[in-house]
Amino acid sequence: MFIFVLMIVLFIVGYTVIALEHPLKINKSATALLLGVLLWVCAVIGGEGILVNTDSLRQFAMDHPGNYFLNWLVHSQLLTALGEVSEILFFLMGAMTIVELIDTHGGFTIITKHIKTTKKVKLLWVISIISFFLSAALDNLTSSIVMVALLRKLIGDRKERWFFASMIIIAANSGGAWSPIGDVTTIMLWIGNRVTTLNIIEMTFIASLVSLLVPLIVLSFILKGHVERPELTEDHIDATFEVKRWESNFFFFLGVGALLFVPVFKTITHLPPYLGMLGGLSVLWIASEILNRRRPEIERSRFSVSTILTKIDMPSILFFLGILMAVNALATVGHLELLAVNLDKIPLLEPEKYYVINIIIGLLSSIVDNVPLVAGAMGMYHFPTDHYFWEFLAYCAGTGGSILIIGSAAGVAVMGMEKIDFIWYLKKISWIALIGYFAGALTFIGEKAIRERISNKDKAEKTEVVMSEEGVKEYLSKTTFYTVNDSDFDLETEEIKDSTVIRFTDFAHQGQQYFGLSLQSLQYQNNKKDFENHSVVQSLAKGECVVTQLNDTIAEVIFGKDQLFVTQSGRVYLVFPSGGSLELKKVN
């Protein structure tokens, strides 16, 4: 128990040191790496006794006789965690390299030359809206890297650029929340068959858009004046004067095409996205080598991917590694599972209970990685596909990470690229992101309530039968039904050759009630206008009409000697003694 609590304390202390990076002058990457190592050491020292759930350990012991806790922790859990984290790291490295390669060849000038405005507010809206939709097409991590690279071409002052970069984080996370491929959590829900593509877009788009628009509106009142364009630098801007326009265009479209191909690659091959990203990088690398092979050695080295790789922000990569390994240690021992179980004990009724749970998960995702939180929720709850719980979870887990700069992959990437101070973001942006988060959450809840009211209204308007004894009797007595003899139905002309009209009849005679069916058989002669009565049969019997409501939409009816099922929508099924049934169609 001591080790279990110690791990929580270490995580809190480590997180605090990361937050105070600039005052303490200790690089956050070093702290994150140490935190990740210490938490896994604690897991080893604590042994099996600190595990919240031992199912995985026992399954490992059954599959690998003679191996127990240490082998399970190292060869199963640690390697699995490292594999999951490495997927993100290689994806991030590939995306950063592609963006730098495009930038070095002057590709981004295609966009920046069309953004003429220097007004802060107008530029803020343009950058944010582009990030919002780009994130849905790519993902929040890739789009934030691309947009920060563009931002460096548009704004020279670093502190001013921080506001815009922070809005890129919010916009990228909001854009990723409504797309099945826009965020790792929505990908998890989509692949896990918890949500479908069109439904997640329909149900979360407005809420995600509100979570962006509210911070945009707030910052529009804060930011005033104009921005100054950056001066030309040797590494990037002046390179455009040494590259032909067609080469800049070529690398821009090839690079953006490689990024856009990643979700397509994943859908087609079902392989992890980082493989698609590395494949795209390899194509650009080969193209760069071929196009630049005739340049002088000095110029060729500038455009070489080997040189570009030295510009990648490795401290940010290591920060990712440390913080994600730390969170995985907590997930392995069971801290996050225990948290999810306690959340489920909230004393509220549905849907308020699940609204609160998802909102809390969103807030927690700004502190710990949202992947294990969402994975825990997917393991705990078994709602059907496209249930509102999954939709709201996608929104909350996707946008909640914007509240703190290290709460999302996009935030960490931008933090590393622009060297944004944690405390600065906390003071200047967090409260704005929090307002946007709650505004979007309330929008989702309100939209769901409106949709339910409209749905209930439509349902009420479509109700043919009042599901009560009197309502069912009235419907049967006032409605005429028919059946068609399938063997005499002409498929080519769709003409009815033989049919039977059915009416439900009841009358009283000498104090006795009679119930039954009145059957009138109709047969066409040479055309559908000329027909004759073939026979009229009335099947009446003493008895009563007994209506038994099976549920809100179906009633069982004993009408004299005939057994029926009547639905709220007006469908009537005649049940035969042999067990079969026949649907009686309503005459218009």
Q: Convert 292-329 to b/e letters by CB count within 10 Å (16 or more is b).
A: beeeeeeeeebbbbeebeeebbeebbbbbbbbbbbbbb
Q: Which tokens go with 401?
A: 């990470």
Phi, psi of 349 (to 5 degrees): -90, 165
d(CA 114, CA 145): 20
Quick check: is 381 in a domain? yes
Q: Is the domain of 362 the same as that of 406? A: yes
Selection from 110, 227, 106 nearest residue 162 by Cα: 227
Q: Is the domain of 500 the same as that of 375? A: no
Q: Is the domain of 288 the same as that of 374? A: yes
d(CA 517, CA 75): 73
Contact criterion met (CB below 8 Å) for 183 and 139: yes
Q: Which tokens go with 544?
A: 């009563």
Structural domain range at position 441: 2-451
Q: Is the domain of 497 the same as that of 370? A: no
Q: Which tokens go with 509?
A: 């005679």
Tens place of pLDDT per residue across the chain (588 aa): 788 899 989 988 988 888 777 788 888 889 889 999 999 999 998 888 888 888 888 888 888 777 678 888 888 889 988 888 888 788 878 887 887 888 787 777 777 777 777 888 999 999 999 899 988 877 788 788 888 888 888 888 888 889 999 999 999 999 988 887 778 778 778 766 788 878 888 899 999 999 999 999 999 988 888 888 876 554 444 444 466 778 888 888 888 888 878 878 877 888 888 888 899 999 988 988 888 787 777 777 777 777 888 777 788 788 878 888 888 888 888 887 787 777 777 787 778 888 998 999 899 888 876 766 776 677 667 677 888 889 999 999 889 988 988 888 788 888 888 888 888 999 999 999 999 999 999 999 999 889 888 876 665 555 577 777 888 888 888 888 888 765 444 544 445 456 788 888 877 776 777 777 777 776 554 454 554 555 555 566 666 777 776 666 778 888 877 888 888 778 888 887 766 677 888 876
Quick check: is 13 in a domain? yes
CB-based contacts of 206, cutoff 8 Å, min separation 6: 443, 444, 447
Cα 391 to its chain centre, rounded Å, is: 7
Quick check: is 461 in a domain? no
> According to the model, what pLDDT value does residue 239 have?
43
d(CA 224, CA 99): 30
Q: Is the domain of 171 the same as that of 232? A: yes
CA distances to 490, 494, 520, 534 from 525, rounded to whole Å, are 13, 15, 16, 11
Contact criterion met (CB below 8 Å) for 467 and 555: yes
Query: How many C-beta atoms lie closer than 10 Å to residue 459's C-beta?
Result: 12
What is the three-class DSSP state of 544? coil
Q: Which tokens go with 303?
A: 């455009």
Q: Which tokens go with 233?
A: 């630098």
Task: Please report which helix (H) or strand (E) contains residue 575, including its range.
Answer: strand 572-575
d(CA 96, CA 89): 10
d(CA 205, CA 462): 29
Q: Which residues pair with 226 in a beta bridge?
A: 119
Quick check: is 458 in a domain? no
Q: Where does residue 107 rank: exposed (0-12), middle (13-18), buried (19+ CB within 10 A)?
A: buried
Quick check: is 464 in a domain? no
> According to the model, what pLDDT value does residue 470 have?
82
Selection from 96, 466, 401 nearest residue 259 by Cα: 96
d(CA 189, CA 386): 10
If you ran DSSP here, which 8-state letter would residue 271 be given? -
Q: Is the domain of 158 the same as that of 233? A: yes
Q: Is the domain of 192 the same as that of 263? A: yes
Q: CA-based Rg of the chain, rounded to a whole angstrom? A: 33
| 41-49 long-range contacts, CB within 8 A, separation 24+ | 42/3, 42/6, 42/7, 42/10, 42/329, 43/7, 43/73, 43/329, 43/332, 43/333, 44/70, 44/73, 45/3, 46/3, 46/4, 46/7, 46/333
> According to the model, what pLDDT value does residue 566 have?
85
Contact criterion met (CB below 8 Å) for 395 and 294: no
> According to the model, what pLDDT value does residue 339 have?
77
Quick check: is 460 in a domain? no
**pTM for the full model?**
0.64
> According to the model, what pLDDT value does residue 235 have?
46
Quick check: is 462 in a domain? no
Q: Is the domain of 443 the same as that of 478? A: no
Q: Is the domain of 131 the same as that of 257? A: yes
Q: Is the dihedral of CA 410, 178, 180, 143 positive or negative?
A: negative
Look at the chain and report how many structural domains it folds into.
2
Final residue in a domain of this structure, among 417, 451, 485: 451
Quick check: is 456 in a domain? no
d(CA 110, CA 529): 71
Helices 184-191 + 388-399 axis angle, to 10: 160
Phi, psi of 294 (to 5 degrees): -95, -5
Contact criterion met (CB below 8 Å) for 524 and 497: yes
Q: What is the DSSP string of 430-482?
A: HHHHHHHHHHHHHHHHHHHHHHHHHHHHHHHHH--S-SSHHHHHHHHHH-EEE
Q: Where does residue 269 rank: exposed (0-12), middle (13-18), buried (19+ CB within 10 A)?
A: exposed
Q: Is the domain of 474 the same as that of 447? A: no
Q: Is the domain of 420 the same as that of 495? A: no
Final residue in a domain of this structure, among 419, 451, 483: 451
d(CA 398, CA 247): 37
Residue 570 — left, alpha, or beta (φ > 0 → left; ψ -120 to 50 → alpha)?
Answer: left
Q: Are strands 489-490 and 562-567 parallel, antiparallel or unpaired?
A: unpaired
d(CA 525, CA 198): 51
Contact criterion met (CB below 8 Å) for 169 and 144: yes
> According to the model, what pLDDT value does residue 40 have?
92
Q: Is the domain of 153 the same as that of 297? A: yes
